[in-house]
Chains A and B, each alone.
Chain A
Amino acid sequence: MQQNQETALDIRGLRTEFKVGGRWYPAVRDLSLDVAENETLAIVGESGSGKSVTALSILRLLPQAGARIGAGEVLFEGRDLTKLSEREMSSVRGNSIAMIFQEPMTSLNPTMTVGEQIAEAITIHRGASQADAMAEALRLLKEVKIPSADSRLHDYPHQFSGGMRQRVMIAMALACRPKVLLADEPTTALDVTIQAQVLMQLDELKEAYGMSVVFITHNLGVVAQIADRVAVMYAGEVVELATVDALFANPAHPYTVALLRTMPRADRATESLEPIPGSVPPVTAMPEGCAYASRCPLKQPSCEDKRPELLPFDGPGHQVRCPVRLEQTRG
């Protein structure tokens, strides 16, 4: 869909590892993804699939002890972010790449007013005076449609509802007009009506600011609403990559198919939802072959021998990590 556009962020062969009992285990393996300018890429997967770790790896926000980027590059504006010094990295964070988090209740500092928290990034990256930064913070609060923003600028986070706090988070992220916005389940903690409002607003702001968005979610309904392309992650790797239309019309990977079956749909009668049996293998005990094999209805004996590769499927830009499905479509 967006191939003709410039690439904003390019992740190549990323491997993020965690230290468990003195050994390093990969939580994200051999992950390659790119996001075009003004594109929304959704990363979908269940808990423990490595989607949040991917986003945190881009900004290098993982806990400094016990986590590391073992291999790969994150290319942004001609630089490899994994090679930058901590100081150079902090001038990227919140400036050209911003991030919003899942928990609006705990992700804001309880002892600073929302105005101060929004203005902070502007004073850090733009060298603006406190007064100018606060004026800009007020403009941003209005932009994310906080009612009576003038009086609320000096309120503390605990005086806001969950939905309002998430808007404050968005305003904070937008403060320096980032090129890329990483949104880590920004609507998961909100109820459905608020969720819809926040999603719509994110989409409008993306257009207004000309940002690229990496949207992390486990909710396929949200994906359908907001994404251009989708990467489905399982056990730390991308198992399917497709445009949003192709993914819903023609899901290739058995895991994607199963995920879609767990989702209630308005456009067809749903008798019952099917949970996926089993669970994601722990990072300390990744199987040799396909990580999904133990839960897969299409499993062949060969699946457990060799780790499958991500290969082109039928449509343009559609890739899947499943030799059985590839075999089926070819044959």
Chain B
Amino acid sequence: MIRYAIKRLLLAIPTLFVMLTAIFVLVRLVPGDAAAVILGDQASEASLRALRTTLGLDQPVYMQYLSFIGDVLTGDLGRSLSSGRSVGQEVLLVLPYTIELTLAAIVIGVALGLPLGIATAVRRNGWVDYAGRLISLVGLSFPAFVSGILLLIVFAIQLGWFPVLNSGSSGDPIERLRNLALPAFNLGIIMMAYVVRVTRSSMLGVLGEDYIRTARAKGVRPGRLVIRHALRNGLIPIITVVGLYFGTLIGNSVLTEIIFNRPGLGKLILGALNARDYTLLQGLMIIFAICVIAVNTLTDLAYGLVDPRVKYK
């Protein structure tokens, strides 16, 4: 397992380089002069030239690339053009909120979706199955911004259980949880919908396998049969979907953070886009790329833990 883990971690390095290169090229492909965009139409030639020198835009492309990679590797993501703070600082300020929201959404999605998915597969074509499929369809059909608004109307405005606007910076853990509940649930139900679907289909496949019949022939009772024999074999596609959904979660979290007025990476992106804050955007792209690569690597490691065959390939 350790050798497998080291191999996976090493494989993440070239992926990271490809991503960094892609981001570098993408930013340079944006038409127009970055300095002119940043300073606007009224800027003087001298100030434009000065900014190009600060940004390194007067250097040849390969030099720009090398210094870009060097900066990233040393953890320097540049300074935000609008706030003047370093990108690292900007991100660290809001990252805990995004991590909190994402993890809470994943926990809600898996904690609700996995048992429901198993139940729909075991009780195939029974009422549990139809109910589970209906719930998952509803979760998939509602865009995050619609379900977010509905949640706000019902639970924050009508029932008043949760705050409408996030205070965000509150230190009180209870208050923090109350702030987290609705946005996390908003993202969690989408996650749950995916998990129910993939768990159902994966478990249906596994429950038809020969080794399940073998286990029944040994006298294994239904509960143990599902958990010990079927679930572990059905986990791989579920892990895949949870890992993949992590990326989508970031996209959905942009909308969720705006609706619930929560600080986070999503709102930071929107702000950077509106302010044409190139360096902040580039820095955020790098942070997201690193997050996605990290989650993918974790997914790979989870495969190795779940399925002994993976390690030996």
List residues of A whose CB falls within 8 A of some B CB: 59, 61, 65, 86-87, 90-95, 98-99, 101, 103, 106-112, 120-121, 124-125, 156, 158-159, 169, 172, 175
Contact = CB atoms under 8 A, between A and B. Distances in A.
Interface stretch (B27-35, B185-193, B206-214, B263-271): B206-214
9 contacts: A59-B217, A94-B217, A101-B210, A101-B214, A106-B209, A107-B210, A108-B211, A109-B211, A156-B309
Contacts of A111: 232-233, 306-308
A94 B219 contact: yes
B7 interface: no
A94 B211 CA distance: 14
Interface string B215-232: 111111110000011001
B178 interface: no
Interface of B: 124-125, 209-211, 213-222, 228-229, 232-233, 306-309, 312
Given A110-B233, A175-B218, 13 more contacts: A61-B217, A65-B125, A94-B217, A98-B217, A101-B217, A107-B210, A108-B214, A109-B211, A111-B306, A120-B215, A121-B219, A156-B308, A172-B214
B210 A90 contact: no
B211 A106 contact: yes
A90 B229 contact: no
Given A101-B210, A103-B210, A110 B309 contact: yes
A158 B308 contact: yes
Given A109-B229, A109-B233, A110-B307, A94 B210 contact: no
A124 B219 contact: yes
Contact of A61 (B211, B213, B233, B312): B213
Contacts of A98: 217-218
Contacts, number: 77
Contacts of B218: 93-94, 98, 120-121, 124, 172, 175
Nearest to B232: A111
A125 B308 contact: no
B209 to A, nearest CB: 7
A124 to B, nearest CB: 5
A293 B125 CA distance: 40
A99 B219 contact: no
Nearest to B309: A158
A316 B86 CA distance: 97
A95 B220 CA distance: 11
A61 B216 contact: yes
Contacts of A65: 124-125
Contacts of B125: 65
B interface secondary structure, majority: helix
Nearest to B209: A106
Contacts of B215: 109, 120
Contacts of B233: 109-111
B210 A95 contact: no
Nearest to A105: B210
Given A65-B124, A156-B309, A110 B211 contact: yes
A124 B220 contact: yes
Contacts of B219: 90-95, 121, 124-125
Contacts of B209: 106
Contacts of B228: 112
Query: Taking each of B125, B216, B233, B306, which has the highest tally of chain A beta carbons within 10 Å of its own beta carbon?
Result: B216
B216 A107 contact: no
Question: Which 5 residue pairs spanning A and B have beta carbons closest together?
Answer: A94-B218, A94-B219, A93-B219, A106-B210, A109-B211
Contacts of A172: 214, 218
Contacts of A101: 210, 213-214, 217
Nearest to B221: A90
Nearest to B306: A111
Contacts of A109: 211, 214-215, 229, 233
B212 to A, nearest CB: 8
A92 B232 CA distance: 26
Contacts of B306: 111
A156 B307 CA distance: 10
Nearest to A120: B218
B273 to A, nearest CB: 46
A159 B124 CA distance: 34
A175 B217 CA distance: 12
Contacts of B214: 101, 107-109, 169, 172
Contact of A107 (B211, B221, B222, B309): B211
Query: Taking each of B125, B217, B229, which has the highest tally of chain A beta carbons within 10 Å of its own beta carbon?
Result: B217
Nearest to A95: B219
Contacts of B221: 87, 90, 124
A102 to B, nearest CB: 9
B111 to A, nearest CB: 22
